[in-house]
Amino acid sequence: MSLENGGSISSLTKALSSERSQAATLNLVRKVWPWVFLFLLVVFFTITSKQLNDVNFLNPRSIQGILIFTTQILLLALGETFIIIGAGIDLSVGFILGLSAVVAAMIMQALFAVDAPRVLTILCGLLGGVAVAAIPGYLNGLLVARIKVPPFISTLGMGGVVFGAALLLSGGYPVAKQPSYLGQLGNGYLLYFWPGHGISLFNLPASVGASERGDVIPLVPNVVAVTLIVLLVCWFILAKTQFGQHLYAIGGNFEASMRAGIPVQRTIVWVYTIAGLLAGIAGVLWAARFTSGAANAGEASLLTAIAAVVIGGASLFGGEGTITGTVVGSLIIATIQFGLVILGVLPFWQFIAVGLVVILAVIVDQLGRNMGR
């Protein structure tokens, strides 16, 4: 009898050990697969672009092009990361981006028309665009936290309001007639490397001739530098502050967070306000890059931003997600978009490719969760 019991216990122990091993493996796959997938994407586009178009995909200009593609997606995705970790969703950030771009462009257009100083024109435009974006973000937070409107409904409605406001302000047309130096700022670089001559800051070397400009290698686009600073601030807030710990707790268990004395409502209001501010930063960068403001500037980026967060491993049920995961998710989407452009593929295929990657991410995530139970 004891031998039989001993054999049963041994079999049970082996079965539990096997299940834990499988769960650990799948959990590792959930965390690592986006990086592996990004690597495979780079390899695929490197080979195909060389064979089909004789283009070197891994050159400094292409890499920086991918990073520029990433900035708008990433800035919106960072806001969505905060909200999704808190078990929410925001369907208005793309339209908030458009409103921010319109307001920033209108301010700079007005100041430029009266010959205001460059610094004042740029500063007022950028600050105005970011400030106006905080308003719908804050209102979203109030609706969700105080009035208990479901996030899907409140942010969907706010998106319509914001989009309509941007159209009314702009008259339905892009806000053009911007100062020329705005484009130089939005499409400029922090560093310019001239082989054999050195590095210059912010502008091309003064001694470079027209025939030598092709030899100068621009490094670190301004929009990428700004996005990197914002990224580091968001990472610090989420990983190193009490606010970040509270947010994970709220997303993991709302009722337990309330009972533990966490300021749930205030935290949620702040989260949606932060998302609005990040959309505002994306909007003013869009205005600087394209020297214009358009109400639909961020319309196509909303779903890609949410997709980047999901691909990066965040749970739509809340309580899980990282800034690092959002970064790799954004890079995957930007690499797909940029790579398909390099190959000359119709842009419509971008939506199909991103959609398939999102489905793959959810499948991997669910497999890991089911095996971990």
pLDDT digits (tens, 9 = 90+) for 119-142: 999 999 999 999 999 999 999 999
Q: Kindly list the distances between the CA atom of residue 38 and the CA atoms of 35, 60, 92, 271, 318, in Å, as whole numbers in the listed order.
A: 5, 18, 28, 29, 25
The verdict on residue 112 lying in a domain is yes
- 143-198 pLDDT per residue, tens: 999 999 999 999 999 999 999 999 999 998 999 888 888 888 888 888 887 777 77
- 11-48 pLDDT per residue, tens: 656 555 555 565 566 666 667 888 888 999 999 999 99
pLDDT at res. 1: 47
Write down the pTM of the prediction: 0.89
Measured distance CA(329)–CA(335) in Å, rounded: 10
In sign, the C-alpha dihedral spanning 185, 188, 194, 200 is positive
The verdict on residue 13 lying in a domain is no
309 pLDDT band, cuts 50/70/90, is very high
The verdict on residue 24 lying in a domain is no
Of 295, 272, 274, 338, nearest to 90 (Cα)?
Answer: 272
The runs of H, that is alpha helices, within 114-150 are: 118-145
pLDDT at res. 356: 85
pLDDT at res. 371: 58
* Cβ atoms of 308 and 77 closer than 8 Å: yes
Half-sphere exposure of 5 (CA within 13 A, CB side): 2
Residue percentage of the chain with pLDDT more than 90: 53
Residue 277 predicted with pLDDT over 50? yes
The helix, strand and coil proportions of the chain, stated in percent and rounded to the nearest 5, come to 75, 5, 20
Beta bridge partners, 155, equal: none
pLDDT at res. 123: 94
pLDDT averaged over the chain?
A: 86
Residue 300 predicted with pLDDT over 80? yes
The verdict on residue 19 lying in a domain is no
Of 132, 85, 83, nearest to 104 (Cα)?
Answer: 132
Of 93, 57, 99, nearest to 72 (Cα)?
Answer: 93
pLDDT at res. 281: 96
* Cβ atoms of 57 and 339 closer than 8 Å: yes
Residue 7 predicted with pLDDT over 70? no
Both tokens assigned to 302? 């909303």
Residue 54 predicted with pLDDT over 90? no
The verdict on residue 15 lying in a domain is no
* Cβ atoms of 75 and 357 closer than 8 Å: no
Both tokens assigned to 173? 């047309």
Cα–chain center distance at 117: 32
Residue 289 predicted with pLDDT over 90? yes
With 0-12 / 13-18 / 19 or more C-beta atoms within 10 angstroms meaning exposed / middle / buried, residue 34 is buried
The DSSP symbol for 201 reads E
The DSSP symbol for 320 reads -
Both tokens assigned to 279? 């959309």
Residue 6 predicted with pLDDT over 50? yes
Region 281-308: mean pLDDT is: 91
pLDDT at res. 215: 72
The verdict on residue 54 lying in a domain is no
Measured distance CA(308)–CA(78) in Å, rounded: 9
The verdict on residue 332 lying in a domain is yes
Measured distance CA(5)–CA(309) in Å, rounded: 49
The verdict on residue 30 lying in a domain is no
Both tokens assigned to 66? 């991918």
- Domain range spanning residue 273? 40-47+59-372
Lowest pLDDT segment from 231-240, 274-283, 348-357: 348-357
Measured distance CA(327)–CA(71) in Å, rounded: 10
Measured distance CA(136)–CA(279) in Å, rounded: 11
What is the number of structural domains in the chain? 1
9 pLDDT band, cuts 50/70/90, is low
pLDDT at res. 145: 94
